[in-house]
Amino acid sequence: MVGKTISVVGLGKLGASMAAAMADRGFDVIGVDVSRAAVENLNAGKAPVQETTLQEYIDRNRQRLSATLEHRDAVMKSDITFVIVPTPSDKNGAFSIKYAATAFRAIGKALKEKKGYHTVVLTSTVLPGATRYGLLPLLEQESGKKCGKDFGLCYSPEFIALGSVIRDFLNPDFLLVGEFDRKSGETLESYYEKIMENHPPCKRMSIENAELAKVSLNSYVTMKITFANILTELCEKIPGGDVDAVSDAIGLDRRIGRKYLTGGLGFGGPCFPRDNVAVSFLARELGVRNEIAEATDRFNRTIPARFVEKISRHIPSGSTVAVLGLSYKPYSCVVEESQGILLAQALSKQNYTVTGYDPLANDNARHMLGDDIQIKESVQDCIAGADAVLITTPDPAFTALKLGDFRKGKEDMLVVDFWRVLAGELSGKPGIRYVPVGQGSRIRDAENVLEMMWRDA
């Protein structure tokens, strides 16, 4: 049932890594992209995108990896096709399937000529109904064939994080397979058995249930992150409050779990914010109340402005602020909805002079921020002359910083450490005003509020 050759349509952040990972597991993989650069890069043995270990995986699987601009070639020569093209959010928060439609039409045309059974798998994130009612008809129209008889169809998203796409793809907590029919699901499951390194459980279900499971998982995680960020604020208002102490304790409860419960900054990146908004859209369309997803989004969007307000209480506008961390997370060059970028923009608007640095995202940040913010080539350059430093991601380039690195800034420098990664190094050190986010001070004001609450008890 499992063929030797797989095709992957879309060689972007997810598709290129999946192609290389599947080649590493012994399959011949043909990548397809409409971008000539992506195809030429892969054929020349170069990673089309930045991703941890992707270049190494390509290097050691060159003979099993190729790429083409022609969907037809790839479908004719493979047994199964994964489609991982963009599904950008539209103005209502839904996902557009226009790129997927173009890909499905091209695959449908190829299926018309192809002899034998072929399985098509949509990996891109879509909302319930999109695969069956938006895309399947295109395959049938173009091929003149019947789904479930002449070809198979699954919706099967991945739960990867940028920066660890290959590791996450090969070692998932579970596999999610939405199947048009039993044969489609069985076929995909047998490929996954050969691809995955960790023998994960495979949940097979209807296409619509799988579409809902994908976006609802991400929406749930954003809710959890937001809960941790509310705890962060509460802890800052409680004398001696410590968000890590609280999260470490409640995270031990198996109903809760510790992952994604670290308070600090909001969530960002190309998936979490938009998947959560899409779940709100879906609920509205279906007449279901979903204030949780809406409140999560609203709270998350207030976070940068709230911190800028707090920073303005410590240092006047006109001061220089260094933002360390411009990608939305460590090990990534992606700056979409990055809290570091949002902070830099908000500070600049309040007339602070802002410098920024990120080990991987400097180029993308420059593109997004324009001339308003000076992007520096090293942490040291970024800190030099700063009145305040914000550490926005727990990137190893920042967690390894020493007190001496901060001495290059101004005397009495403010250091706002959103993830408390330098507490041991900077807390209580002369010449540094170290502010670990999510920890309450012992100031009398905070104690007064608590005392007032209980005075007449």
Ligand X SMILES: NC(=O)c1ccc[n+]([C@@H]2O[C@H](COP(=O)([O-])OP(=O)(O)OC[C@H]3O[C@@H](n4cnc5c(N)ncnc54)[C@H](O)[C@@H]3O)[C@@H](O)[C@H]2O)c1
Q: How far is the CB of 16 from ligand X (least distance, A)?
A: 8
Q: Which residues contact 166 (CB under 8 A, 6 or more apart)?
A: 17, 20, 21, 51, 52, 53, 54, 57
Structure tokens belonging to residue 409: 């800034």
Regarding 12 and contact with ligand X (CB under 6 A), the answer is yes
Residue 214 Cβ vs ligand X, minimum distance, rounded to whole Å: 8
In whole angstroms, what is the distance from residue 113 CA to residue 83 CA? 19
54 touching ligand X, by CB under 6 A:
no
Near ligand X by CB under 6 A: residue from 85, 210, 323, 421: 85
- Cα separation, 273 vs 328, in Å, equals 11
Smallest gap from residue 30 Cβ to ligand X (A): 12
Distance CA 200, CA 187 (A): 16
Choose the stretch contacting ligand X; rule: CB under 6 A; options: 83-91, 225-233, 404-412, 428-436: 83-91
Residue with tokens 């070692």: 171
| Structural contact between residues 423 and 436, judged by C-beta atoms closer than 8 angstroms | yes
Q: How far is the CB of 106 from ligand X (least distance, A)?
A: 7
Rounded to a whole number of angstroms, the CA Rg of the chain reads: 25
Asked if residue 360 belongs to a known ligand binding site, the reply is no
Q: Is 14 in the site for ligand X (CB under 6 A)?
A: yes
Counted residue by residue, the chain has a size of 457
Asked whether residue 173 is marked as a ligand-binding residue, the answer is: no
| Sheet of strand 413-417, all strands in order from the earlier edge strand to the far edge | 374-375, 353-357, 320-324, 388-391, 413-417, 432-436
Tell which one of 84, 207, 278, 413 touches ligand X (CB under 6 A): 84
The residues annotated as belonging to the active site are 271
Minimum CB distance to ligand X, residue 299 (Å): 22
Stretch of residues binding ligand X (CB under 6 A), selected from 13-21, 143-151, 205-213, 446-454: 13-21
Are 218 and 276 spatial neighbours (Cβ–Cβ below 8 Å)? Answer: yes
- How far is CA 137 from its chain centroid? 31
Residue nearest to ligand X (CB): 12
Q: How many residues bind ligand X (CB under 6 A)?
A: 26
87 near ligand X, judged by CB under 6 A: yes
DSSP strands (E only) in 15-79: 28-32, 65-68
On whether the CB atoms of residues 370 and 397 are closer than 8 A, the answer is no
C-alpha to C-alpha distance for 7 and 19, rounded to whole angstroms: 8
User: What is the phi/psi pair of residue 89, to 5°?
Assistant: -75, 140
Contact with ligand X (CB under 6 A) among 125, 219, 296, 338 = 125
Instruction: Give the x/- contact pattern for ligand X in 266-305, rule: CB under 6 A.
Output: ----xx----------------------------------
Binding mask 139-158 for ligand X (x = CB under 6 A): -------------------x
Interaction of residue 38 with ligand X, rule CB under 6 A: yes
Binding residue per annotation — 220?
no
- Measured from the CB atom, the residue of 124 and 439 that comes closer to ligand X is 124
Residue 114 — φ and ψ, nearest 5°? -80, 135
Q: How far apart are the C-alpha atoms of 184 and 79, rounded to whole Å?
A: 12
Compute φ and ψ for 38, nearest 5 degrees.
-65, -45
Per the annotation, where are the binding residues?
Answer: 33, 87, 125, 214, 260-264, 268, 329
Binding site for ligand X (CB under 6 A): 9-15, 32-35, 38, 84-87, 99, 102-103, 124-125, 158, 160, 162, 270-271
Per the annotation, where are the binding residues for NAD(+)?
Answer: 33, 87, 125
